[in-house]
Every structure is written in structure tokens, then in C-alpha cells.
Structure 1
Amino acid sequence: MSESAEISFQIDGHIALIGINRQHKRNAMRQDMFEQIGAYVAQAQQKARVGILFGHGDNFSSGLDLGEHKERTPIDTLHASRAQGAIMNQLEQGQIPWIAALSGATIGAGFELAAATHIRVADESAFFALPEGRRGIYVGGGASVRVARLISVTRMMDMMLTSRVLSAHEALAANAVQYVVPAGSALAKARELAAVIAENSPISNFAITNTLPRIQDMSHDDGLFVESIMAALVQSSPEAQSGLKDFLEKRARRLDTPKSA
């Protein structure tokens, strides 16, 4: 494991783990911490098949370090926001899928970081908020795009205007997370999911994480056309041929179907 300031980095087999470790500040994020996450994401893409983003201690992240943010000029804020946006794009549009393991405070920029990942696992201690309206500021890490798409513009507007806090189960109902697990077990669940994802074909994983979001921005016909092109490209890969052969020869892993199915 390597650490730089308050960000840890570890490669465990095919899985990369990036941890926010500023526990005395509930993992509040300074700009240099965002930049270190970006550097580790770049390394992870070369060394792993899937990544996990998590918070050390009881919280994922309580958001921006507001002491640092208060000292910024408007132009500083613009550049910081653009830099954060580029790092979030590395997560969202990079070479490997990312899972967020969430506990405790997942607030502001912490929520934005989680929204840039592809799968979000919350334990029952997790809570979600966008209190920018109360602080007299505005989101700057991509929430207007990513969080609004996850939970809807109207729900995000409610959270920002009223400082409404969502519990883990409310976040699940709002589509902010995909899994809710007992307190303290989010990272274990994320590791379990990452192990499954790491078994997939890398080109299929890349196609899923990079094509699906873009198709949502296209017209109906353009989306269907791009889907057909991607299906043909992935079909031509050696991984596709191997995977189909394994299925036809009954060597492929079976689906974990519900007990009643």
C-alpha cells in the first residue's frame, strides 16, 4: 500500500483501492487530495481491472474543505472546479469500472465523487446531502450533471434548497445508490462486486461504462445505431469468442438467480 498525504492506494490482485484518509476532518477534501486521487486513478487503469473508492474511518467524505474554499477568489474557484471535473471524468470515462463504498457522511463533493463511479454501495450509516444553498455556494464537482441524472433535477433542487438529508435507504429509493448493506460492510460488499466484475472481459466492461452514458445523450435512432456498432466491435474481440465458447460448452459461471426462480 502507498500513501500520499491523506489518500491511500493499494493494488490487490485485479482490484485497485483508493481510500480517503483525513478522518479528523470527516474526510473533507482539499484540492491536492483531488489531484492525488486523479494520479492514483491513472495508475489503477494501468494495473487493475476494477477500482474501489472508499473512506477510511466512519465517513466517506463530508465534502470540500470549506476553510480552503473560503480563501478562493472566483477565478480560483472556476479553475478548481474545472480541475475537479477532469478528475471525476477520469473515474467516469476511464478504462476500468469503479465502485464507491459509502459510509457516514457523503456530502457535497463527497456525493459528487461517489456519483462519478459506476456502482455505489452504501452501508446503513451512510447519509447524503447537498447543503450548498445553506453555505451560500454552488456545487462544482459535476453534481449538476451526474447527481441530477441519478436522482432527478427536482430532487437535487430540493436537497440543495432545503439541505434535506437522505438516509441510505432513501438514497436507494432515489437511485443514488444500487446497494444498501449493514453498517460497516460497504467495503466488503464492494470487494465482492469488484471480484465479479474483474472476471468480465475488459473490453465488455469498457463498452458498458463508456457507451451506456453517452447513448443517454443521443437521439433514439442515434443511440440504437451506436449500440449496434459497439455490439459488432465487442463481438469481434478474442474475449467474446472465448466467453461464448465457454457458455456453449457449459464452462461459464452460472447466473446467481433468485431462490424462487
Structure 2
Amino acid sequence: MFEQDVVRYQVEDGIVRIVLNRPDCLNAMNRPLLRQLLAALELAAVDEAAGAVIITGHGRAFSAGADIRFLNQAAPAEVRELARLAVAVTSRIETLGKVVLAAVNGDALGGGLEIAEACTLRLAAEDARFGHPEVSIGAVAGFGGTTRLPRLIGKGRAAELLLTGRLMDAEEACRLGLVNRVVAPQDLPAESEKLLRGILAQSPTAVRLSWEAIHRGLSLTEDESARLGADYFGLAAQSEDFRIGTRAFLDKQTPSFKGR
């Protein structure tokens, strides 16, 4: 469906690999790329062969961000339309119902970083760089960065990055909590898949409900979030996976989850 275009969609052994495919411009995001990325996510949401998703970039970068040539020539209304399309993409990543991992194979800047920030998990190659340089071109991190980055690394640290445009390497991103793990560039595909395989071995129902509780709970008070977690615990208890998992624990066996 996307093989010859600006987004590639591949599925193998339960893992979808969505590849941003504008390597000549460091996978800069324009409307065609964002539309195809959204379409790829919608396909992954209903693809019965897809248990989890990896988003990565083709070539030297994950994504250098929004296409600045477009931004320079576009009318303000067109810029806002692009941002709203990107927000639809990042929101869909968070609500896909499946774990989405950003395998950051190079620079993740501006809108590219905002795509990664929306993912459930982020693995980075050692030579990757991260940052929100929007202010350096007179812009704002309008694809969700002003919302998600403070939640990931804290208000003060996020403010520094968003207000200075400073770039950081993968190790600093990991220390700040933006990245889960840093690996050698050649190991990034295998390590990304290995992490997802560990998640796919768990109850799909419990994984989905756990992520929903995390995501929804961030917008609630601590007490409300705790009650939401209790409600999701109750929902999990209604599943077949809950009975399978608890029985397997008592019998000292490895559970074989059904995802229902």
C-alpha cells in the first residue's frame, strides 16, 4: 500500500514497521507524508497481524521536522492546517490501542521529535540527536511538543529546550527520561524488536489497559488517576487473560494469553 511512497508499511511476525521515507530531505514532514503516516497508523490499528508498531526513518535521520521550504512559502492558515494534521497523527499514535515504539536512527528534531514523544517507548541510536529548534526559525513546537515534552521530562527542563532550541545527544536524552534506552546504531532494529517481543509476550488486554490508564491518568489529579487505575484493574479482571494468567501463576506454568 505504501511501498513506493513517502511512508513504507511492513509487517512481519506480529510487528509493523512504519518507515518515514523522504531520505533526501532527512524525512522532513509535509502534508503527503503526514497523511500517509496517519493512513499507515489506521491500517495498523485494524491489522490483525499487527501486535505492535515501530516507527523509524529511512536514511540518516528519524525526521528533521516540518518541511521548512513549505513553511517559508505557506500562508498562516496552511501552516495551521499542517500542524492540525500532525496533531491528528500524534494523537492517533497515543490512542492506537497497540504499543508504538520510536526507533530513533538519527536526528529527531522539531516535528520529528514530536512524533517520537507521542510514542509509547523510544529507543535511540548512539549518534541520534534530539531537540526543539523551532524558536530559532521563529516558530513554536505546534505538533504537540509543548504538551508532551513537559510531561516526559518536567516543566523546567522542557522549558529550557523549547525556549533555547538547544540540541542534545542520545545519552543526555536518556538521562532526562526522554529516551528509554540508547544502543549502537547497528543494534537499533534488533533491540527495538526485542523490547517489543517482551511486551508481546504479556497479556495484550493488560498491556492495552495499562497504557490507557497511564495516558488518561496524566490529565487527572493523583487521586483521580489512582481510582482510574483501580477501575482498569477491575476491567482486566473481566478478561479471559486474567483467569489464564492467575491460573498459570498458581500452577507455576507459563501463561498462553488469548488477548481477550
Question: What residue is the counterpart of 2:192 in the other structure?
Answer: 190
Of 138-147 and 244-253, deviating more is: 244-253
Q: Secondary structure at the match of 1:144?
A: helix
Q: Secondary structure at the match of 2:16?
A: strand
Q: Distance in 2 between matches of 1:71 and 1:152?
A: 34
Q: Secondary structure at the match of 2:3?
A: strand
Q: Distance in 1 between matches of 2:212 and 2:32?
A: 27
Q: Distance in 2 between matches of 1:157 and 1:229?
A: 34
Once the two structures are TM-superposed, the CA of residue 161 in structure 1 deviates from its matched residue by 2.9
Q: 1 or 2 for the larger relative contact order (CA 8 Å, sep ≥6)? A: 1
Q: RMSD in angstroms over aligned alpha carbons?
A: 1.5
Once the two structures are TM-superposed, the CA of residue 220 in structure 1 deviates from its matched residue by 2.5
**Conserved 8 A contact 1:9-1:19:** yes
Q: Structure 1: which 5+ residue stretches go unaligned?
A: 254-261
Q: Secondary structure at the match of 1:224?
A: helix
Question: What residue is the counterpart of 1:256 in the other structure?
Answer: none
**Conserved 8 A contact 1:106-1:129:** yes
- Of 37, 47, 52 in structure 1, the residue corresponding to residue 54 of structure 2 is 52
- For each residue in 1:186-205, what CA deviation from the matched residue of structure 2 results, as whole angstroms up to 9, or x when unmatched? 22211111112222222112
Q: Distance in 1 between matches of 2:5 and 2:178?
A: 29
1:85 aligns with 2:87: yes
Question: What residue is the counterpart of 1:259 in the other structure?
Answer: none
Once the two structures are TM-superposed, the CA of residue 247 in structure 1 deviates from its matched residue by 2.0
Question: What residue is the counterpart of 2:214 in the other structure?
Answer: 212
Q: Structure 2: which 5+ residue stretches go unaligned?
A: 256-260
Question: What residue is the counterpart of 1:141 in the other structure?
Answer: 143
Question: What residue is the counterpart of 1:11 in the other structure?
Answer: 11
Once the two structures are TM-superposed, the CA of residue 2 in structure 1 deviates from its matched residue by 4.2
Number of equivalenced pairs = 253
Q: Secondary structure at the match of 1:228?
A: helix
- For each residue in 1:86-124, what CA deviation from the matched residue of structure 2 results, as whole angstroms up to 9, or x when unmatched? 111110112111001012211001100000100100110
Q: Distance in 1 between matches of 2:58 and 2:82?
A: 24
State the AA in 2 paired with 1:190. Answer: S
**Conserved 8 A contact 2:141-2:162:** no
State the AA in 2 paired with 1:36. Answer: Q
- For each residue in 1:118-171, what CA deviation from the matched residue of structure 2 results, as whole angstroms up to 9, or x when unmatched? 010011011101111111111111001111211222222222332211110000
Q: Secondary structure at the match of 2:54?
A: strand
Once the two structures are TM-superposed, the CA of residue 27 in structure 1 deviates from its matched residue by 1.3
Alignment of 1:113-152 (within 5 A): 113-152=115-154
TM, length-normalised to structure 2: 0.92
TM, length-normalised to structure 1: 0.92
Question: What residue is the counterpart of 1:228 in the other structure?
Answer: 230
Q: Distance in 2 between matches of 1:85 and 1:45?
A: 17
